[in-house]
Chains A and B, each alone.
Chain A
Amino acid sequence: EDQVTQSPEALRLQEGESSSLNCSYTVSGLRGLFWYRQDPGKGPEFLFTLYSAGEEKEKERLKATLTKKESFLHITAPKPEDSATYLCAVQARNRDDKIIFGKGTRLHILP
């Protein structure tokens, strides 16, 4: 069964303390993997799309990487404004191109 699992469920970091969020997936065919950021009371906001293993993308303090089984979202020297829930999603080739979201990682950056 196609599945997307994110870990940890929640993460508290001090400002400036770098870390990584994990998204592991099991799908028979991957078309793309997406990272979104969601602030409380708002809709998810797009961050990155990764299409193939080995691909990396960066945006400010965030860097996303992709392997054949998982993706990491690296956060370097985070600031309190990076606090949010980070969602990972995959587009599965063998499920009529449906998009499956993970349950997210709640990130809290302490000043």
Chain B
Amino acid sequence: DARVTQTPRHKVTEMGQEVTMRCQPILGHNTVFWYRQTMMQGLELLAYFRNRAPLDDSGMPKDRFSAEMPDATLATLKIQPSEPRDSAVYFCASGLVIVQKYYNEQFFGPGTRLTVL
């Protein structure tokens, strides 16, 4: 049963600390997305990759957030330094784009619940 995995599931940290979240997309998927979900803003797209290349990261604060795909089985989202306003649930999703630019189903991971004190 293929699924997207994310680690850690929960993270509590203090303001100013570095946070790294990891995602393993479904094998064979060529597109990976990072989202942030809060009660106020809902689900917001932070960054996404196609064939490991970053397509867009305009949704995330550049000065503190960074997203990478070191290889096809791992995507990372880092926050340095973290701030209380970064507290949210962070989701990774993967999908397969067959017809150029037309997305279909995205498979979401279980999320990382981040609390910054």
What residues make up the interface of A, taking CB atoms closer than 8 Å to B?
31-32, 34, 36, 42-46, 49, 51, 87, 89, 91, 96-104
Chain B interface category by residue count: 20 to 34
Query: DSSP majority for the B interface?
Result: strand
CB–CB B56/A42 < 8 A: no
Known: A43-B109, A101-B42, A101-B44. A96 touches B103 (CB 8 A): no
Considering the chains assembled together, what is the distance between the CA atoms of A43 and B92 in angstroms?
9
CB–CB B105/A46 < 8 A: yes
Known: A99-B45, A103-B42. A42 touches B110 (CB 8 A): yes
CB–CB B42/A44 < 8 A: no
Query: Which B residues lie within 8 Å of A36 (CB)?
Result: 108
Interface centre among A31, A51, A99 (most CB of B within 10 A): A99
How distant is B86 from chain A, measured CB to nearest CB, in Å?
A: 19
Known: A96-B55, A99-B33. A44 touches B43 (CB 8 A): yes
